[in-house]
Amino acid sequence: MTHSYIIAARRSPVAPRGGALSSLTLDELAKPVLDALLADAGITPDEIGELIVSNALGAGGNPARIVALGAGWPERIAGLSIDRQCAGGLDALILGDALIRSGHHDIVVAGGVESYSRRPLRSRTFTDGSPPEPYDQAQFTPWPDRDPDMAEAANALAQSRNISRAAQDAWAIASHAAANRPAPEITTVAGLSHDPFTRALTQRHCDKAPRISGAITAANMAVAADGAAFVVMVSERIAHTRGLPAAAFLAGATIGGDPTLPGLAPIAVINAILDQTKTDPNMLQSAQIMEAFAVQAIACQEGANIPRGIVNRRGGALARGHPVGASGAILAVQLFHDLRGTGGTGLAAIASAGGLGSAVLLRG
């Protein structure tokens, strides 16, 4: 089989933690999205072979199983949960593609769901009798001196690439401005039908924003958030029989890089899949690049030579928020809708803590 295909893609609104979606559990966040997704695709739960769910902040176990059962799907759908932090949402699609092309399944639902608001509290334990110590950022390397705070890593990236605070603020302002467009991929969840964080961000707001680390401020980094996003991936046979506008999954990969500068990791994987598919970045119709920090998006766009005009044309994570395990899937959902029925080629890419970069290439 040459390719798998995406035939439907949906996401929830993205709301900052403590906001409109904060009362919902993972399965409650995911169910309306999955219901709308299957309706768009014209399939029933009985036809689904597997559900792959990215989740980074939950309590472990198997969130995918909880999501499948909460959606009322057949008990035979086991659910596969993955955690590759920010990259997980795209990695879910990469795994779905592999399951389909290998012949294991004809239909796979893949994506991610995250509730930053409902994440469990975590504590480190010690062998010397010291009391447990709460922590927020998980460990990503075995070396404390090469395992930076993400905002500090973003500031180090800005310094290494000479990307000014003014450039980062300008990117954030543009992201909010672009997000004030219709978002056909959004499913109403808990009465919310839009991304409530999007606003008319101005330079005055950016100048007053609290400084987090160096040039990194509350205005040019994404806010922690809740959200869900999923796609239906099918075999070539199913895609041809359904008669729906489909996007071919041309390539997808994840590559590790320097853990101290995780924002640079997507450059290598973007270049790798463009080379693999013999795709000139100037021929791309759309690019969705994660904006956990404005400086990451700038570094990736410039480092991979992607035309600025095609990047995040309907806004990015700076304008909506960052539901960690779902963010990569949100990029793919938006890319699908950008490309739908156009015949064009598009890219989605994301950086992840620990120095990881994931990217996928779709053709509408």
Which residues are designated catalytic?
86, 322
Helices (DSSP H) in 3-126: which residue ranges?
26-41, 63-70, 88-101
Largest separation between any pair of C-alpha atoms in the chain: 64
Contact 108, 96 (CB under 8 A): yes
Contact 14, 186 (CB under 8 A): no
Task: Tell me whether strands 345-352 and 225-234 are parallel, antiparallel or unpaired.
Answer: unpaired
Q: What is the spatial distance between Cα 11 and Cα 338, in angstroms, rounded to a whole number?
A: 14
Q: What is the spatial distance between Cα 248 and Cα 106, in angstroms, rounded to a whole number?
A: 14
Beta bridge partners of 112: 54, 229
Contact 311, 317 (CB under 8 A): no
Length of the chain measured in residues: 364
DSSP states along 194-233: S-TT-----HHHHHHSPEEETTEESSSBPPBEEEEEEEEE
What distance lies between CA 57 and its chain's CA centroid?
A: 14
